[in-house]
Amino acid sequence: MNPSPQFNLWTEPWIRVIRSNHRDDEVSIRDCLLQAPDLIALSDPSPLVVGGTHRLLAAIVQAIYQPTSLDDIAHVLQAATFDAGKIAAFEQRYGPRFDLFHPEAPFLQTGDVPLDGWKKPAKGQKNDWGDPQPIARLFAEVPVATARTHFHHVTDDDHSYCPACCARGLVTVPAFALADGRNMPPSINKTPPIYVFPAGDTLFETLALSLVSPDYQPRTADPERKHEAIWTTNPPIVAKDREVSAVGYLESLTFPARRMRLYPHIGKTVCTNCGRDTDLYVRDLLYEKGHWLSKEIGVWDDPFVAFRQKKDEIQAIRPEEGKALWREYTNLLLQEDTTAQRPLIIKQIVRLIDHGSLKEHQSVRFRCIGIRTDGKAKIFEWLDESLEAPPALLVDVATAEYVAEALRRATEIASILNAVFNRHFKPERGASGLKQQDLVRYKSVRERLIADYWRALGLRFRQFINDLARAQPYQRDDIARNWVQIIVALARECFDAALAQIGNRADELRARVEAKHECDRLLYAKRKEWLDE
């Protein structure tokens, strides 16, 4: 093994981006910042890599500019490019700290473990660190150890990652680390929430809008540590299983939830993650408990996370099974009361709109990234979706109630469809109990009914938002009334389509007629109630 392998993320290409000509490319951190006006967005097959990379770049830009007010952020936006001199000064001071394989200060890792820590100790001796883990630990979507998926025929020892893929995996850990069966603590935001990132027309706008002034940083962030970051920590050591009671905002964006150390090898191989040839690869890493946030701090109100009151505590909004992202529109983008709080970054954007810095924008886009889990080690799916909000809608808090009421009514209609279907389509009980075939069939039709309803309603909701934003205050009631007519008509259409899939047995035909009659009656009653007819 070469005693000093190198791969510096500041100068080596590893960030996947989309250029203004819509071509994919890979760039270093330095080039990403310098060329940000000519890049459209971050791009990666894994939304978790996009989210982790966004938070890393946001931390670097935050450290470079250190905004103290909205005026500072407005000046960055007006410049339309990042200051090359400031970037060069940052590089001169901290550039070496971005080396993945630095002997003493490896990036996003602990520096008190040797590069050859993967070697087994001599007989009778013992390492001060844990057993090496497969490099696949870095990616939530790659099965490793006891986590398996069908049709994935690669064993743990077969994984070999190039340095670029290692970097992409490392940046996902601070934001998406999960609690698991080995008593691993989650990251600073506990079970990964839905992260709401501003999305500008260019990557420059996206990162500039991610700058956070002190008024919109976490309330529990320690002001004495406002300049602390992963590249300033000295000595650069991540303690094992350490309770942390003081965290600065910059630290939170790259919070070391895991104590890690990559063990590099020199030699030609093919990266099992990206499929490229590489002369430097990693098979094993140290992967242990890292830092975890003390309960005394309470909820960490991350600027890119929305929260709501649930029972007796405030919780971050997380992905839910079968719930499309747009159904959280109010909570994620608009709500500001005792029941829910939109992300601090959106509150800051509202102030920037009032400030006049975003007045030319027709709408403000947000890229929402998350991963749905069971709160422990099981991972079900991820999301990477966009939501748009006209500035008028973000600024006028009173309009949020119209949106919230529209979503409540749509949910009530869905409950009617579900309840009516369940009442009329139950499997007959035979000598051996319920007919399993009918049970499965009815359940499948019901789930498809509800899914079709929400899927079709999503397009109408986008139009509803646009109409509401353009309307005068006296026109909003008419738009709300039109929404009622849309959801009732769409519900009838979806319910009729579901009935057609039931079957033509005599008992099923009778149930279809009775179900349609009851559904129409209840939908008509709701329409009459909401429209005051």
CB neighbours of residue 218 within 10 Å: 20
45-58 pLDDT, tens digit each: 999 999 999 999 99
Q: Rounded CA gap, 202 and 39, in Å?
A: 6
**pLDDT band of 369, cuts 50, 70, 90:** very high
Reported residue count of the chain is 533
pLDDT of 430 over the 60 cut: no
**pLDDT band of 377, cuts 50, 70, 90:** confident
139-168 pLDDT, tens digit each: 877 765 544 444 444 556 688 999 999 999
Catalogue all structural domains in the chain, each as residue range(s) with its CATH number.
Answer: 15-391 (no CATH), 398-531 (1.10.132.100)
User: What is 126-158 written as a DSSP string?
Assistant: --SS---EEGGGG-TTS--TT---TT----GGG
Alpha-helical regions (H) of 372-398: 391-395
pLDDT at 436: 59
pLDDT of 487 over the 50 cut: yes
Most confident of 51-55, 296-300, 455-459, 463-467: 51-55
3-class state of residue 386 by DSSP: strand
Q: Can you tell me which residue has the tokens 């080039």?
A: 31
Mean residue pLDDT of the chain comes to 88
Please, what's the largest Cα pairwise distance for the chain? 86
pLDDT at 35: 97
pLDDT at 3: 57
Rounded mean pLDDT, 366-377: 87
302-313 pLDDT, tens digit each: 999 999 887 778
pLDDT of 84 over the 80 cut: yes
pLDDT at 149: 46
pLDDT at 238: 92
pLDDT at 395: 85
Determine the residue type at 524: Y
Tell me the backbone φ, ψ of residue 131, rounded to 5 degrees.
-65, 145
pLDDT at 132: 84
pLDDT at 151: 43
**pLDDT band of 117, cuts 50, 70, 90:** confident
27-42 pLDDT, tens digit each: 999 999 999 999 999 9
pLDDT at 43: 94
Cβ atoms 177, 377 nearer than 8 A: no
Most confident of 298-302, 320-324, 415-419: 415-419
Cβ atoms 265, 214 nearer than 8 A: no
pLDDT of 521 over the 50 cut: yes
242-259 pLDDT, tens digit each: 999 999 999 999 999 999
337-365 pLDDT, tens digit each: 777 899 999 999 999 988 877 765 567 89
Give the pair of three-digit tokens for residue 127.
């390492």
**pLDDT band of 78, cuts 50, 70, 90:** very high
Q: Which of 81-90, 170-179, 427-436 has the lowest mean pLDDT?
A: 427-436
**pLDDT band of 137, cuts 50, 70, 90:** confident
80: left (phi over 0), alpha (psi -120 to 50) or beta: left
pLDDT at 1: 47
Q: Rounded CA gap, 230 and 196, in Å?
A: 23
pLDDT of 90 over the 90 cut: yes
